[in-house]
């Protein structure tokens, strides 16, 4: 294993550990807030809140101009070439252009909130909620762009602390206060917006005191702004189309059905989105690291890094996926109550769709690191178009199950397209023996366990953690017995263990014998 691959994997493993912990904290806080909304407000109000989140995310994507990913890639790529002047110009352009765009988008959303509420969603009560959430857009955009800038310097902590942890915890705390004071539904929406505002202000204060932003002062948009826009604008389309793929089900349920069914569907969606948490934790630090390698034309190192990390992403994702896929009723009853049991089939289908993300790994981010933002755009255009067509066909007949099927097929199409393009452009693929052998072996064993469990046991809530550990153990055992561990795998284990304060070098030496 080359020193470059080792350094890259160690850097990504270290950053992923930080992001993973932060993501868990943030997602648990956000999930807790959603539970509070679902339990203390009506199903219709929870549906309105879900629509507010979707509209806010769409507005923020437009206002960010793609800089939440484009700035990271361009800064990292320029750093890899040692161009400090260009890096400074990219920082300046990112902040100033995003600020202008966020203000314009906020004003437009404020004055069109009534039309959006009555003409698109047929929910007049949505209008006031949208006017409240408009206040959050510039602060949300600022948080995302600042996080992207720090990430371009391989500094993942600021993004994790502010974008993933601070906002979610603030939202949960403010929502608890709203419920304790028995304030009306709109106060919950105000708490949602206030969390973004406070987080944006806090991040701005932090950025002023920390490099690389402390000594940077620019009177106008730098010349690098045009290049940044040309690279990043396709990423607006990528993110928008990704949101179409993620959100069309909810949006079309709101159009064809009722807010109650939107709320029911959104009981399954946040659970299914937990499946690729390892992937979302990895891609943040993966993008700048791979961008630097690409600037130095180190394609062999990029290929090996991609293969090793994808195997670990799948390993971490598998147990949770199996719980959601095999026991959806038990999981939904535990988190949302028996009234959400109707979403069991939707949860099963959605979890399979999100598992495709984990299986194929960071294929899109690898393309993006190589500067192929247009290829990523075309992949997402295919997935989004397919998703819209399938939702139009399936939702009127099968409601939330139809929406879930549409998402499943779209995710498979997206990942297949990106993986094929990645192979065509660079010969990078993930179909190695060390990746496929344990999947096939563990799949067979787990299928037997599931049949025995369903035949002889009634699975209760308290059994889920035990089953989770069992699934993880089975897959880990299959990795060892099929000799699917590589030296890079052991290095990741040791690096993550050190990051968490656990010395597992002895275990690494034992596993070394199974190579």
Contacts of 314 (CB under 8 A, 6+ apart): 358, 359, 361, 435, 439
Tell me if 451 is assigned to some domain: no
Segment 93-145, tens digit of pLDDT: 888 888 999 999 999 999 988 888 888 877 787 888 889 999 999 999 999 99
Residue 368 phi, psi dihedral angles, 5° rounding: -65, -40
Q: Measure the CA–CA gap between 177 and 173, rounded to whole angstroms.
A: 6
Q: Which domain holds residue 421?
A: 3-431
Residue 79 phi, psi dihedral angles, 5° rounding: -65, -40
Segment 52-97, tens digit of pLDDT: 888 888 899 889 888 888 888 888 888 888 877 788 888 888 888 8
102: enclosing H helix or E strand: helix 84-115
Domain count, the chain: 1
Residue 154 and residue 291 in contact, taking contact as beta carbons nearer than 8 Å? no
Count CB-CB contacts under 10 A for residue 299. 15
Residue 94 and residue 145 in contact, taking contact as beta carbons nearer than 8 Å? yes
Tell me if 505 is assigned to some domain: no
pLDDT for position 108: 92
Q: Measure the CA–CA gap between 145 and 156, rounded to whole angstroms.
A: 13
Residue 130 and residue 113 in contact, taking contact as beta carbons nearer than 8 Å? yes
Tell me if 95 is assigned to some domain: yes
pLDDT for position 489: 61
pLDDT for position 348: 93
Tell me if 474 is assigned to some domain: no
pLDDT for position 217: 53
pLDDT for position 504: 47
Tell me if 444 is assigned to some domain: no
Tell me if 132 is assigned to some domain: yes
Going by the DSSP 8-state scheme, the letter that residue 117 receives in this structure is: I
Tokens, residue 242: 């990704």
pLDDT for position 344: 92
Apex 100 CA angle, 95 and 101, nearest 5: 100
Q: pLDDT below 70 — which residues of the chain? A: 1-6, 9-10, 13-15, 211-223, 455-459, 461-462, 483-515
Residue 480 phi, psi dihedral angles, 5° rounding: -70, -50
Mean pLDDT of the chain: 82
pLDDT for position 498: 54
Q: Measure the CA–CA gap between 363 and 414, rounded to whole angstroms.
A: 10
Tell me if 39 is assigned to some domain: yes
Residue 224 and residue 90 in contact, taking contact as beta carbons nearer than 8 Å? yes
Tell me if 28 is assigned to some domain: yes
């Amino acid at each position: 294993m080359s020193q470059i691959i080792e350094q890259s994997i160690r850097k990504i493993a270290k950053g992923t550990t930080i992001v993973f912990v932060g993501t868990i904290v943030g997602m648990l806080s956000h999930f807790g807030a959603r539970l509070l909304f679902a339990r203390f407000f009506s199903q219709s109000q929870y549906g309105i809140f879900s629509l507010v989140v979707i509209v806010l995310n769409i507005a923020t994507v437009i206002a960010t101009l793609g800089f939440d990913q484009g700035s990271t890639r361009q800064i990292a790529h320029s750093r890899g070439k040692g161009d400090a002047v260009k890096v400074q110009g990219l920082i300046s352009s990112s902040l100033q252009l995003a600020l202008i765009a966020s203000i314009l988008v906020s004003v437009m959303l404020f004055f069109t909130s009534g039309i959006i509420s009555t003409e698109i969603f047929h929910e007049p009560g949505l209008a006031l909620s949208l006017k409240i959430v408009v206040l959050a857009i510039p602060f949300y955009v600022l948080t995302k762009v600042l996080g992207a800038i720090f990430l371009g310097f391989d500094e993942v902590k600021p993004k994790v602390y502010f974008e993933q942890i601070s906002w979610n915890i603030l939202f949960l705390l403010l929502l608890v206060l709203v419920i304790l004071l028995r304030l009306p539904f709109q106060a919950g929406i105000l708490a949602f917006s206030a969390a973004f505002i406070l987080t944006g202000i806090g991040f701005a204060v932090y950025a002023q005191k920390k490099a690389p932003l402390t000594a940077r002062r620019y009177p106008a948009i730098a010349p690098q702004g045009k290049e940044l826009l040309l690279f990043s604008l396709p990423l607006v389309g990528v993110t928008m189309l990704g949101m179409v793929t993620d959100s069309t089900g909810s949006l079309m349920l709101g159009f064809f059905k009722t807010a109650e069914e939107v709320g029911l569907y959104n009981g399954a969606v946040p659970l299914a989105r937990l499946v690729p948490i390892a992937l979302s934790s990895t891609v943040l630090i993966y993008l700048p690291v791979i961008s630097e390698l690409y600037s130095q034309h180190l394609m062999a190192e990029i290929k090996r890094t991609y293969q090793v990390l994808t195997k670990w992403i799948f390993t971490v994702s598998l147990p949770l996926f199996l719980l959601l896929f095999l026991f959806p009723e038990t999981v939904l009853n535990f988190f949302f109550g028996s009234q959400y049991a109707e979403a069991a089939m939707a949860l099963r289908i959605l979890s399979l769709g999100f598992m495709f993300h984990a299986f194929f790994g960071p294929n899109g981010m690898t393309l993006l690191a190589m500067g192929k933002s247009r290829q990523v755009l075309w992949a997402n255009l295919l997935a989004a178009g397919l998703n819209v067509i399938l939702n139009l066909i399936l939702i009127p007949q099968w409601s939330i199950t139809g929406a879930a099927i549409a998402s499943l097929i779209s995710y498979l199409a997206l990942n297949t397209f990106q993986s094929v393009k990645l192979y065509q452009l660079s010969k990078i693929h993930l179909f190695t023996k060390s990746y496929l052998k344990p999947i096939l072996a563990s799949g067979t064993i787990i299928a037997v366990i599931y049949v025995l469990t369903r035949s002889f046991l009634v699975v209760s809530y308290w059994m889920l953690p035990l089953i989770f550990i069992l699934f993880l153990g089975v897959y880990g055992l299959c990795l060892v017995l099929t000799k699917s561990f590589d030296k890079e795998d052991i290095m990741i284990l040791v690096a993550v263990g050190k990051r968490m304060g656990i010395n597992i070098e002895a275990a690494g030496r034992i596993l070394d014998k199974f190579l």
